[in-house]
């Protein structure tokens, strides 16, 4: 009876709500596989080798800014509205632009700029492999964003989970079978599956658009995105440059420990990434209707729930590290709180940026991200040699906090309306930071830590109970999304 009632309730939800639930579950499965396989990788690879593999993936994300031009980001969502009658043509045109961009940049870097790939610390064959992946990566990225935008979750869920499962299996088998070069086996073994998926999706986009590439779509996308490439680059620097700088300053072993701690902390980012994927089109709709109070009401609940998840993972940092790796990674326990606090503030950025993107003022978000990225790199260069790689988490936290402040001010400039209750957001944020800082002092006292965690959960449960009327209203309104 319970199962039948649950199925009926799910069936009564709107397509947007069902898509949000399924895609969130898909992301959990994907990230869960990453976490489940991390203990295997940390035991098959040394801390140095784990750091080398992390270095490849960090540089991959940074180089992707230049090759993909971030065309699967905000500009694509805007294009889905502006060119709704030719979404197939718009999708393929944007992918073709990423392909030619990758071809040009990859050729220049690999043939004429040897000092670049020497600087990034990767062998040439991995640099070439990186650009081959990125030449086709845009197809899957653009296709996936369109599926989310149109709330077509079934095919996306199947593709995402299938790739995640097979790639992890191949990555592990690659290390076992080619143990003489485990780093290459880890990277290429897992990523070849992605490459196959990229090419398959490329064929689908090509067929639907009949190979038509429209110059006006290129102009539209470049006009929107080129001015904010520094913004997207800054975001990736904030996400990845700490590991690159740690490897350069403290060594690849330290980068490996920090990367593991970041992997453990990234589970909380998954929640916001999943939520935001569906929150973007919903926010656009509410902005179009001037329903700012609805945005604030939903955001309050989301931020509180997200803060709770962040705090729970911080409380359980020793257990997280113990599960993910051996004792050689135990120092990572004290990295997790600062990293999670940084992830929390990096997520808050989106509640302001989503509104700014709707009003097509992306240049405003660039200021905050660029300033924060520069400060982050400078602070890392100064503080990591003094305090070690532990400092990187706190420099990133400070940088994300600065970015949130600047983006809030930018949103107020773009929209002369009170959208969010900032006293509420600031109160929740202060609680996250204070508790996160204090946790470093009690990690050695397991019983005390569990008691405090229980008190936290009970307090938040009481709050949710008191606000159940608001939550019920939000659930009812969710059917109307």
Model pLDDT, residue 6: 39
Going by pLDDT thresholds of 50, 70 and 90, the confidence category of residue 8 is very low
Classify each residue of 4-34 as buried b or exposed e, where b means 16 or more C-beta atoms within 10 Å of its C-beta: eeeeeeeeebeebbbbbebbbebbeebbebb
> What confidence tier does 278 reach under pLDDT thresholds 50, 70, 90?
low
**What pLDDT does 479 receive?**
41
pLDDT (average), residues 190-200: 89
- Statement: residue 450 has pLDDT above 60: yes
Alpha helices in 226-251 (DSSP H): 229-249
Which pLDDT value is given to residue 229?
80
Burial of 219 from C-beta contacts in 10 A (0-12 / 13-18 / 19+): exposed
Residue pair 62/233 in contact (Cβ under 8 Å)? The answer is yes
CA distance 416 to 422: 15
Measured CA to CA, the distance from residue 311 to residue 435 in angstroms comes to 8
The H or E element that residue 12 is part of is none
Determine the angle formed by the axes of helices 317-324 and 252-288, rounding to 10 degrees: 120
pLDDT attached to residue 478:
43
- pLDDT at 130 > cutoff 70: yes
Instruction: Spell out the residues 6+ positions from residue 251 whose beta carbon is closer than 8 angstroms to its own.
Output: 48, 51
Phi, psi of 177 (to 5 degrees): -80, -30
Burial class, 455, CB count within 10 angstroms (exposed 0-12 / middle 13-18 / buried 19+): exposed
Could you give the percent of the chain with pLDDT greater than 90?
11
Average confidence score pLDDT of the chain: 81
User: Is it the case that residue 445 has pLDDT exceeding 90?
Assistant: no
- In three-state secondary structure terms, 180 is coil
pLDDT higher than 60, residue 193: yes
Query: pLDDT digit string (tens) for 322-381?
Result: 877 777 778 888 888 998 998 899 888 888 888 887 787 767 777 888 888 899 989 999
Residue 471's H or E segment, with its range, is helix 468-478
d(CA 142, CA 205): 9
Q: CB 35: neighbour CB atoms within 10 A? A: 16
Sign, CA torsion 191/267/323/26: negative
pLDDT of residue 468: 63
pLDDT at 270 over 80: no
Residue that the structure tokens 């940084």 belong to = 342
Q: 384 and 245 in contact (C-beta within 8 Å)?
A: yes
Q: For residue 290, give Cα distances in angstroms to 295, 359, 418.
A: 10, 12, 11
Residue 85 has pLDDT above 90, yes or no: no
pLDDT of 19 strictly over 70: no
Distance in angstroms (rounded) separating the CA atoms of residues 279 and 350: 10
pLDDT over 80 (residue 163):
yes
The SS3 call for residue 59 is: helix
Q: Where are the domains of the chain?
A: 8-478
**Nearest partner of 231 among 78, 101, 111, 65, judged by Cα:** 65
Would you tell me how many other CB atoms lie within 10 Å of the CB of residue 393?
23
Query: Is the pLDDT assigned to residue 192 strictly greater than 70?
Result: yes
């Amino acid at each position: 009876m319970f199962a039948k009632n649950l199925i009926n309730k799910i069936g009564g939800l709107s397509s947007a709500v069902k898509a949000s639930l399924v895609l969130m579950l898909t992301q959990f499965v994907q990230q869960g596989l990453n976490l489940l396989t991390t203990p295997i990788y940390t035991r098959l690879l040394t801390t140095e080798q784990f750091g080398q593999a992390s270095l490849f993936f960090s540089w991959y994300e940074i180089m992707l800014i230049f090759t993909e031009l971030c065309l699967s980001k905000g500009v694509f969502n805007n294009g889905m509205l502006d060119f709704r009658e030719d979404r197939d043509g718009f999708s393929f045109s944007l992918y073709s632009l990423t392909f030619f961009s990758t071809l040009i940049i990859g050729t220049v870097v690999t043939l004429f700029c040897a000092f670049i790939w020497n600087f990034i610390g990767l062998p040439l064959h991995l640099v070439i492999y990186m650009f081959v992946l990125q030449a086709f990566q845009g197809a899957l990225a653009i296709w996936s964003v369109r599926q989310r935008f149109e709330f077509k979750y079934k095919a996306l869920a199947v593709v995402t989970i299938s790739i995640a499962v097979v790639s992890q299996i191949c990555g592990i088998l690659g290390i076992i079978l080619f143990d003489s070069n485990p780093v290459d086996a880890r990277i290429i073994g897992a990523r070849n599956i992605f490459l196959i998926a990229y090419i398959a999706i490329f064929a689908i986009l090509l067929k639907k658009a009949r190979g038509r590439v429209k110059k006006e779509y290129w102009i539209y996308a470049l006009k929107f995105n080129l001015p904010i490439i520094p913004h997207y680059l800054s975001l990736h620097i904030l996400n990845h440059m700490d590991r690159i700088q740690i490897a350069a300053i403290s060594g690849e072993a330290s980068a490996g420990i920090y990367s593991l701690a970041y992997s453990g902390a990234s589970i909380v980012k998954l929640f916001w990434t999943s939520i935001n994927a569906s929150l973007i089109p919903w926010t656009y709709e509410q902005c179009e209707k001037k329903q700012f109070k609805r945005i604030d009401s939903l955001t309050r609940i989301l931020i509180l729930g997200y803060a709770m998840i962040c705090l729970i993972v911080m409380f359980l940092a020793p257990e997280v590290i113990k599960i993910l790796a051996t004792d050689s990674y135990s120092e990572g326990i004290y990295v997790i709180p600062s990293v999670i606090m940084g992830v929390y503030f990096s997520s808050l950025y989106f509640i302001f940026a989503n509104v700014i993107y709707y009003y097509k003022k992306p240049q405003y978000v660039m200021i905050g991200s660029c300033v924060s990225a520069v400060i982050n790199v400078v602070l890392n260069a100064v503080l990591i040699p003094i305090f070690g790689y532990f400092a990187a988490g706190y420099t990133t936290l400070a940088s994300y906090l600065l970015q949130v402040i600047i983006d809030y001010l930018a949103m107020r400039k773009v929209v002369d309306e009170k959208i969010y209750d900032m006293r509420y957001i600031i109160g929740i944020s202060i609680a996250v930071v204070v508790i996160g800082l204090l946790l470093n002092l009690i990690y050695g006292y397991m019983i005390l830590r569990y008691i405090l965690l229980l008190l936290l959960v009970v307090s938040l449960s009481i709050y949710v109970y008191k606000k159940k009327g608001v939550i019920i209203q939000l659930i009812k309104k969710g059917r109307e999304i």
